[in-house]
Structure 1
């Protein structure tokens, strides 16, 4: 990838296509499928039909994960790509033919290249996250995003930003409290 920046746009398109096909083939060869959001990873592992939870050996630690049928070679076994919050991570058997695993990331601000370190990596620079909804955000972040959206709309309409509106309101309050003063040359900065 070091020489990627030196490629022409056409060469990059060809390289991206080849890399994407290779990545897809590597991921299809894994004994599971997975997807991720910034905060978590969801894994789906097919198991023999009729398998019950008590027939499985599942070990979930902060940096290690093992899943398999008791007495057999594990389906998944190794060091996790990144640390997880064990108490917030879960697994369940669905329809006695698939294990659904939900891993909560410790660092919820980075993409994983793979689930287990020894498995093929994906190019995290090519991840296109789904648009999140404002309702998904915590209160402080939501307020900041809403303020930025409001300020952007105001700017597009040639109107003052929220900070400028606050300054104008403060000036109007001061004017009403001090009618004896001349504010004809006052500027808000």
Structure 2
């Protein structure tokens, strides 16, 4: 389910986390216990998978929808808010899900994400144009391969 382009998934411990995507990255958001410190958290990035541990217990593990650039992935923990950023291996590709154990996006959600990413690409390729308020409707092409 989406709220402003963010999607929800359930972690191993039953908590809910959110994720969203842009042309070049995926952002994952967790609210964690306020007593935690950054050294209580371990995030293991692999090209095809992700593991998140808190105090040695896994709260997230799964195979990613697509591959990421491990050296460009990072995470931050501030005020009990964990943000993980995954760098897409192939920019401008819309992911249909985050992890194999999360729900897939609906066809409508996928088309909306593809349109958003395509507009981001247009803005990047044509910085002098104003795409604010622009919409793409119908069968949206893959922004990674469109007009290349």
Distance in 2 (alpha carbons) for counterparts of 1:48 and 1:85:
29
Higher RCO (Cα < 8 Å, 6 or more apart): 2
Report the equivalent of 1:105: 88
* 8 Å CA contact 2:27, 2:85 repeated in 1: yes
Which consecutive segments of 4 or more residues in structure 1 shift more than 4 A? none
Distance in 1 (alpha carbons) for counterparts of 2:105 and 2:23:
15
Report the equivalent of 1:129: 116
Q: What TM-score results when the alignment is normalised by the length of structure 1?
A: 0.54
Q: CA deviation at 1:122?
A: 0.7
Q: CA deviation at 1:28?
A: 4.0
Report the equivalent of 2:20: 35
Report the equivalent of 1:89: 73
Distance in 2 (alpha carbons) for counterparts of 1:133 and 1:40:
13
Distance in 2 (alpha carbons) for counterparts of 1:80 and 1:29:
13
Is residue 50 of structure 1 aligned with residue 35 of structure 2? yes
Question: Deviations along 1:38-58, whole A, 9 cap, x unmatched?
Answer: 211111011111211111121
More strand by proportion, 1 or 2?
2
Distance in 2 (alpha carbons) for counterparts of 1:101 and 1:28:
14
In structure 1, runs of 5+ residues without a counterpart are 1-22, 147-189
Give the number of equivalent residue pairs: 116
- 1:76 is paired with a residue whose SS is strand
In structure 2, runs of 5+ residues without a counterpart are 11-15, 130-148
**Structure 1 residues 62 and 28 mapped into 2: Cα distance closer, same or farther (>3 Å)?**
closer
CA-based RMSD of the aligned residues comes to: 2.7
Distance in 2 (alpha carbons) for counterparts of 1:132 and 1:59:
29
